[in-house]
């Protein structure tokens, strides 16, 4: 199996503040749209890696699917892998395909403590989805993507879980998505398991994977899990609706020197929070905060800690003074890290930004709702 994208973090200071004003997100800049003279991009926004856990293989995936609503307890995984052969599962054709399969990671521990996800399916749930590749013209399993759910959505009688669009292989959309879940108390009260396990929860219904600001997907959840849905984010609560702008901030700027140009995004002093399953800093759904909110085109960005596995995490504004009755609205999903965003034209002049190094970024909630179509965001309660 092959790894997908790697992650390298550089440090950078944020844009320098200018005059304060009231604003909504900035429109796309020339740097984002590109120009005819720009003929070399140095580095662009990089999707957060979706390197899947090594212990989750084809045999275990098939076992989870076969288990239906009963799931596979985490405590039984080692025993299953010692008795099953992965050869048969690895040779099973996919109905989907495309994309290199990620590997790596460690076995998850049982959720526990205030910074662990509550029971059921909702913001912060650890998702593992199938990737495939073509071998001799036949699509076969090629690993799994490790991602995080952002918010709960509803379309008529169905529930959905949002995540990043790059967590879905374009030809594997019909394959079940699995999740690490602690069942609700009523499940074990009715004879089911109370222990954390892995469950096949649904399939992708909406997928958009067009880079920064256009990266989002929805997993349509199987109806038997409707009672498991939990719209509230751990620790922070919410989302209390969706963020629509209006914070006091600094407009995006254009700085020129010696023929080279630097674009900076609009800047809004604030704090954001998210709960993800990033390696080391987030395994088990640790909640973290980020400083500031930057905006340009259809993306928001901030500075904070994020590692592979966080892709798809829901991001909330912590303290929306514009709408005090909705203090923790949904802001974005977490999808990218900015290494450097620059281009060089034929004359050697550099255009850099508005994305700045070391920012973590994702698709704005307004763009997410546009991509979601008939799927509506479900609000969560306060903590």
Confidence of residue 347 (pLDDT cuts 50, 70, 90): confident
Instruction: Give the model confidence (pLDDT) of 203-239 as tens digits.
Output: 999 999 999 999 999 999 999 899 899 999 999 999 9
C-beta of residue 117 within 8 angstroms of C-beta of residue 231: no
Q: How far apart are CA 195 and CA 175, in angstroms?
A: 25
Instruction: Give the model confidence (pLDDT) of 241-297 as tens digits.
Output: 999 999 999 999 999 988 899 999 999 999 999 999 887 665 556 789 999 999 999
C-beta of residue 270 within 8 angstroms of C-beta of residue 293: yes
Q: Which residues of 212-233 are buried (b: 16+ CB within 10 A; e: fewer)?
A: bbbbbbbbbbbeebeebbbbbb
In this predicted structure, what is the pLDDT of residue 38?
40
Instruction: Give the model confidence (pLDDT) of 39-72 as tens digits.
Output: 676 667 788 888 788 888 888 888 898 888 788 9
Q: How far is CA 201 from its chain centroid?
A: 17
Q: Please count the CA atoms within 13 angstroms of the CA of 302 that sit on its side-chain side.
A: 28
pLDDT, mean over the chain: 79
Mean of the pLDDT values across residues 301-306? Answer: 93
Q: How far apart are CA 364 and CA 315, in angstroms?
A: 9
Instruction: Give the model confidence (pLDDT) of 117-170 as tens digits.
Output: 678 999 999 999 988 777 777 777 778 999 999 999 999 889 999 999 999 987
Q: Which two tokens stand for residue 15?
A: 């844009």
Q: How many residues does the chain have?
A: 383
Confidence of residue 102 (pLDDT cuts 50, 70, 90): very low
Instruction: Give the model confidence (pLDDT) of 169-196 as tens digits.
Output: 877 888 899 999 988 877 776 766 677 8
**Percent of the chain's residues with pLDDT above 90:** 48
C-beta of residue 242 within 8 angstroms of C-beta of residue 369: yes
Q: How far apart are CA 345 and CA 41, in angstroms?
A: 9
C-beta of residue 198 within 8 angstroms of C-beta of residue 174: no
CA quadruple 12, 18, 20, 22: dihedral positive or negative? negative
Q: How far apart are CA 244 and CA 221, in angstroms?
A: 27
| Domain spans, the chain | 21-48+235-372, 58-228
pTM score, whole prediction: 0.82
Confidence of residue 4 (pLDDT cuts 50, 70, 90): very low
CA quadruple 373, 205, 222, 361: dihedral positive or negative? negative
């Amino acid at each position: 199996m092959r790894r997908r994208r790697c992650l390298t973090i550089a440090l950078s200071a944020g844009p320098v503040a200018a005059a304060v004003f009231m604003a909504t997100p900035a429109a796309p800049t020339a740097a984002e749209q590109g120009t005819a003279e720009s003929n070399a991009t140095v580095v662009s926004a990089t999707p957060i890696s979706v390197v899947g856990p090594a212990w989750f293989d084809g045999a275990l995936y098939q076992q989870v699917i076969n288990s239906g609503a009963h799931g596979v307890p985490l405590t039984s995984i080692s025993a299953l892998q010692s008795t099953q052969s992965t050869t048969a599962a690895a040779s099973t054709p996919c109905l989907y395909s495309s994309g290199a399969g990620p590997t790596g990671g460690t076995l998850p521990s049982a959720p526990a403590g205030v910074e662990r996800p509550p029971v059921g399916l909702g913001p912060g749930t650890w998702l593992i989805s199938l990737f495939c590749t073509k071998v001799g013209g036949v699509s076969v399993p090629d690993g799994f993507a490790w991602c995080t759910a952002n918010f709960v959505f509803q379309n008529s009688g169905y529930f959905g879980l949002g995540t990043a669009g790059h967590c879905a292989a374009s030809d594997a959309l019909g394959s079940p998505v699995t999740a690490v879940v602690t069942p609700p108390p009523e499940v074990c009260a009715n004879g089911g398991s109370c222990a954390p396990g892995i469950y096949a929860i649904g399939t992708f219904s909406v997928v958009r994977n067009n880079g920064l600001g256009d990266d989002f997907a929805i997993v349509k959840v199987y109806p038997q899990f409707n009672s498991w849905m939990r719209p509230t984010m751990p620790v922070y609560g919410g989302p209390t609706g969706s963020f629509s702008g209006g914070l006091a901030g600094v407009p995006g700027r254009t700085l020129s020197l010696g023929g080279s140009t630097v674009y900076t995004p609009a800047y809004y002093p604030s704090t954001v929070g998210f709960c993800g399953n990033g390696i080391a800093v987030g395994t088990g759904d640790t909640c973290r905060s980020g400083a500031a909110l930057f905006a340009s085109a259809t993306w928001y960005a901030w500075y904070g800690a994020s590692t592979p596995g966080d892709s798809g995490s829901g991001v909330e504004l912590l303290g929306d003074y514009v709408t005090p009755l909705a203090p923790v609205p949904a802001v974005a999903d977490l999808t990218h890290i900015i290494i450097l965003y620059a281009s060089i034209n034929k004359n050697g002049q550099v255009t850099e930004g508005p994305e700045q190094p070391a920012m973590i970024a994702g698709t704005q909630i307004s763009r997410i709702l546009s991509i979601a179509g008939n799927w509506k965001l479900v609000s969560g309660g306060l903590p």
